[in-house]
Structure 1
Amino acid sequence: MENETNNNANPSSSNEPYGSRPVFSNDQTIYEGPKKHSGIGIASFIIGLLSAVLLIIAIVSGSSFADQIANTDIVIADPSDSAAFQASIEALGQEVLVSMMLTIVCIFGAGLLSLAGLILAIIGAVSSKRRKTFGVIGIVLNVVVFVGGIALFFVGSASIASSVA
């Protein structure tokens, strides 16, 4: 028996705590528990919520702006006549201009934030080692806010253009 050759393809060694493994087996994957949520996906979700809040502020401020213009007797002059247009804008008052500027800043801020959140959401959704829940929710939320901001901008521009007489 001592002269026989060893036919074990994978002899056990003293360094392996559990003995030998079969020759054709794959390495065993170590179960690390349930997947954790993606930090990038959570960040995109929070950015989407912040941009939605900015869009809501823009809607409220824009409706206030439109209401203030509708309740005044001032007619906005033709933009090609710069002196008359400037006089009609000054006649509107500072509150209307602040409301208009707040609306514009919130719309563009929400658009830029949702664009950054969309990029993060896509990165979080394609991560293979993390859960994709917040990444997918971030994609949906940021796309809705981005498209809503664009729609709000064009609707507001159209209503301002129709009020210029």
Structure 2
Amino acid sequence: MAQLTANLVKFVAEVRAVQATPILVTSLSRRRFSNSTGKINENLADVTAATKAAAAQTKAYIIDLNAASTKYLNAIGPEKSATYNLIPTDFTHLNSQGSVVFGNMVAELIEEEVEGVEKYVQPKKEIAKAIKKGTYYFPANCDGEFCG
């Protein structure tokens, strides 16, 4: 994972060189649950640690999507978590509804962590409220590209 950290450190430098603000985001949790604990298998700890190390080295903003998504998925459980899968057996990639829910989570986390982004980042409050409460949310009216 040292190479990932080094690549992210380089990325941060390149972003700053063009007068932009780098924001590092840890990986979205996979939606695989342990049969013994009923909780998410946290199998991205090394990638998350590499991202956090790069943020610490560069003093870049860090959004811990892995922790936030793990907390939410544990709250709603395996059956409901699986409804966000792109296909039933794919616990990594998201369908349209999952993209809306977790995209909103990222927007909410960025809004909380990064000053001055309010006019650019506008999470849907209804989704944010459900996530914070640990309540299952499945967007309606999806046409494959946008869910409202």
TM class by shorter chain equals under 0.3
User: What is the TM-score of this pair, normalised by structure 2?
Assistant: 0.27
Q: Whose RCO is larger (CA < 8 A, sep 6+)? A: 1
Q: Going by fraction, where is strand more abundant, 1 or 2?
A: 2
Structure (1 or 2) with the larger CA radius of gyration? 1
